[in-house]
Chains A and B, each alone.
Chain A
Amino acid sequence: MRYFWFSLKAIFIKDIVTELRAKQVLPTMIVLGMLIVWVLRMASEAVLQSEAVIGPVALWIAFLFAGLLAQERSFATEQQQDCIYALLLAPVDEGTIYLAKLFVNIVLLSIFEIIIIPVVIVAFRLNINNWPALIGVLLLGNIAISSVGTLFSAIVQLSRARGALLSILVLVILMPMMIPATFALLFVFGAIPQEMAGTGALAFIGTLGSAVGYMITFDAVFVVACWLLFGFAIKE
């Protein structure tokens, strides 16, 4: 167990330090996120009442695409000078490599979120009265995007059209997650009044709690499944 933590920490620190020194992907992610938010803000100008509705959508689109940038890099850097072989030859369980890479991607996306949320709040004039819920929902979404993305990043590493393949793989799996994720943010931003929850179209499980519960289930299922299957995906 101590060895597990030691190797996890070693890979994690290696990746974070490389990223912070070389700044390969974080600036691109942030600028891309800001551009997405800005474009959607301009597109929603015509319908002024819908700001609280477009806000969560802008946020999730920005996260998805920025997340894809971070994940694509996470194994692409290992391909240069065949670092991946050194990583695989090291006496470390493949699952540990996956978890270390997953944490790196979560941290990168979290840094991105910290910067992009104020931008979205300012651009869409949003009022947030439930900060813990907002942070919780974003963190759950972050884990979902990163868990699937890290596994598929290892899968596509040898392909020529790496980015394109990664984006369709990740988006198709994340499709069901986006429904409760958007609902949850709509609740947090007050686009759905509290008294409407659980009625009408939302009669089934349409409350903030149920959306968060769904996201927790999704995260748990996919983190465990990806962690178990990673060994098959990385082998040559």
Chain B
Amino acid sequence: MRNILLFVTLILFLASTWTALTKGRIEGPSANPDSPVRNIIYTHVPSSICSLACFTVLLVTAIGYLATGNESWDHVASATAEVGTVFATVLNATGSIFSRAEWGIWWTPSPRLITAAVLWFLYVVYLILRSSLPGSKQRRARICAVFAIIAFLDVPMVLYTARFMEDIHKASFSFDNWWQRGPFIMGMVSTMLLAAMLIWIKTDVLKIKSRLEAE
């Protein structure tokens, strides 16, 4: 089952990339129309949605752990945080590259840019916290869940606070035709699938590890 899903993810990803770079190519900025930089949207947007989705999953697992005390929730939380960090890193890296090519700056305080940066920081701090807490496994899981909930409350706060800044980021984006929409949707589905698969595999690894430790 997992192998089939992984195969589908790979095929979708390749199909999406190939179509995006051939038929669905988006024209570059007016200063340099030949630049392929705007194609970054096929990676940037799915990874931004994935990193936010992972954060929501993290909240759900945190509440689940605090409510039930079941260790499985903690395994999922740990896996989700790691996968979320990867996507948040991709989000910030691709955003930065695009920003440099399109607006001439690597980074600037602007609502969405701040939100993405804070999201990355929250993930990284969560992972540091997880790796540096002494004491029993239960205590670590409980404290990480507490931090995940507080961190989740921080995200709407950032979205709200960032309105003090001028927005440089495009509010919405529309594609011209289905050659562009198609690979975008495929890219979205494949990225989501990839995230889910990674979380699934990592959770299994953690479960086996904890069983080995118990024996």
Contacts and interface: CB of A to CB of B under 8 A. Distances in A.
Interface of A: 148, 151, 155, 158-161, 165, 168-169, 172-173, 175-177, 179-180, 183, 200-206, 211, 214, 217-218, 221-222, 225-226, 229, 232-233, 235-236
Interface stretch (B6-14, B124-132, B169-177, B200-208): B124-132
Nearest to B65: A232
Interface in B141-172: 142-143, 145-147, 149-151, 153-154, 157-158, 160-166
A183 B164 contact: yes
A235 B66 CA distance: 12
B157 A176 contact: yes
Contacts of B122: 172
Contacts of B135: 158, 236
B163 A204 contact: yes
Contact of B146 (A203, A204, A232): A232
Which 6 residue pairs are nearest across A and B when measured between Cβ atoms?
A204-B163, A176-B161, A176-B158, A176-B157, A201-B166, A172-B125
Contacts of A226: 150
A150 to B, nearest CB: 12
A148 B150 contact: yes
> What DSSP secondary structure best describes chain B's contact surface?
helix
Of B114, B129, B133, B151, chain A has the most CB atoms within 10 Å of the CB of B129
B106 interface: no
Interface string B31-75: 000000000000000000000000000000000001000000000
Given A159-B134, A232-B142, A222 B153 contact: yes
Contact of B125 (A168, A177, A206): A168
A152 B192 CA distance: 33
B157 A177 contact: yes
Contacts of B164: 179-180, 183, 202, 204-206, 211
Contact of B151 (A159, A173, A211, A232): A173
Given A177-B157, A180-B164, A232-B66, 16 more contacts: A155-B133, A158-B135, A159-B133, A161-B132, A165-B132, A168-B128, A172-B125, A176-B154, A179-B165, A183-B164, A205-B164, A214-B160, A232-B143, A232-B146, A233-B143, A233-B146
Contact of B161 (A151, A168, A179): A179
B66 A222 contact: no
B139 interface: yes
A172 B139 contact: no
A235 B160 contact: no
Contacts of B15: none
B18 interface: no
